[in-house]
Structure 1
Amino acid sequence: MMASYGPLVDGGDADGVAALWATDGVYDIDELFLAGQERIGAMVRSTAHQGWIRQGCAHVVGPPHITVDGDEAVAVCHSLMVVHEEGRYVVRRATANHWCLRRMDAGPGWEVVTRTNRVLDGRPESPALLARGAHGEPAAG
């Protein structure tokens, strides 16, 4: 499920991206706080995001470390946003990702309850987010 985020968001599939989240799920990004599937889908449909797609971009989610506790899980990983600029590819963002997941009632799948992203630019909260997730702890600690 987590690995499908990149192909869905880069493919412009707003409904597919939104469906990864619980109905009341949250996507907490440095500069954006998106609550609910509707706002998450709107982010993909936005002029800014559609511009990234037209320019050429790749959201690459690294392999996660996942701690499962019954019907809940915490996952942590890195992600890169790679963009095409002037004939070359450039990493625009390297990000710490902390996911709180819940097993869905229908079927064997999982849904995102909260995904917290913090850019890895030297601020202390970003590596702390990775460490908490690697220990199976919530994002806010």
Structure 2
Amino acid sequence: MIDSIHAAALQQLLDEHAIAKLIASYGPAVDAGNADAAAHLWAVGGTYDVDGWQMTGRQGVHDMVASSAHQDLVANGCCHFLGPAVISVDGDEAVAVCESLVLLRHDDDQSASGDYRVWRATANHFALQRIDGRWQITRRSSRVLNGDPHARALLIAGFTGVSAPDEKGGE
């Protein structure tokens, strides 16, 4: 029989694993151009804010992945790699943070297969909620790591387990 302390520790590990798997699923879903799979990672009313470009709900994420601009990236060769996440779980809510790289295939005359170049290096802050028994993204905020103070604020908030600040530094 598992006592309550061990049960709580086990639940913590299971939650962290489920969230890590959800976040890790984003790259393969968008690199496959699978708009349905990518959108399903979000809560119905969740948001995705990339450098001020706001996608609202699963439909917004779906539309981005299904767009000709994104599908062109997929057709040429791209890799969205999200690094390991730092995850803080509090009951049915969680915060996670990770950094990501987007690699794009670059054709040149010296390589038949082309090589890959880093297109973006980004800070990613996730707010998640357990909804209908599964973890879903309620808010993702991403900022390019180009010295932008908001990108640093997202990282700090994430690894300390707090909500993402708005652009002015508040919550």
Unpaired segments of 5 or more residues in structure 1?
none
Q: Does 1:47 align with 2:74?
A: no
User: Aligned partners of 1:137 and 1:128: how far apart in 2?
Assistant: 11
- Distance in 1 (CA, whole Å) between partners of 2:88 and 2:57 is 24
SS across alignment from 2:33: coil
Supply the AA of the counterpart residue of 2:54: F
- Which amino acid counterpart does residue 139 of structure 1 have in structure 2? A
Distance between the aligned counterparts of 2:149 and 2:138, measured in 1?
Answer: 24
Please give the secondary structure, in 1, of the residue aligned with 2:26: helix
- Give the Cα–Cα distance (whole angstroms) in 2 for the partners of residues 36 and 124 of structure 1: 27
Aligned residues: 139
Deviations 1:11-68 (A, max 9, x none): 0110110010000000000152100111110000101000100110000000000000
Q: Which runs of 5+ in 2 are unaligned?
A: 1-21, 108-113
Q: Which has the higher helix share?
A: 2
Asked whether 1:60 is paired with 2:81, we answer yes
RMSD of equivalent CA atoms: 0.9
Q: Which has the higher contact order (CA 8 A, sep 6+)?
A: 1
The answer for the alignment partner of 2:123 in structure 1 is 96
Instruction: Provide the rounded CA distance (Å) in 1 between the counterparts of 2:76 and 2:147.
Output: 28
**Letter of the structure 2 residue corresponding to residue 104 of structure 1:** I
Alignment of 1:70-109 (within 5 A): 70-86=91-107, 87-105=114-132, 107=133, 109=134
Give distance in 2, aligned partners of 1:36 and 1:65.
Answer: 24
Give runs of ≥4 in structure 1 deviating > 4 Å.
none
Distance in structure 1 (CA, Å) of the matches to 2:60 and 2:148 = 27
- Partner residue in 2 for 1:138: 163
> TM-score w.r.t. structure 2 length?
0.79
Counterpart of 2:124 in 1: which secondary structure?
strand
Query: In the alignment, what sits opposite 2:39?
Result: 18
Partner residue, 2:15: none
Partner residue of 1:37 out of 41, 55, 58: 58
- TM-score, with length taken from structure 1: 0.96
Deviation at 1:69, TM superposition (A): 0.4
- Please give the secondary structure, in 1, of the residue aligned with 2:162: coil
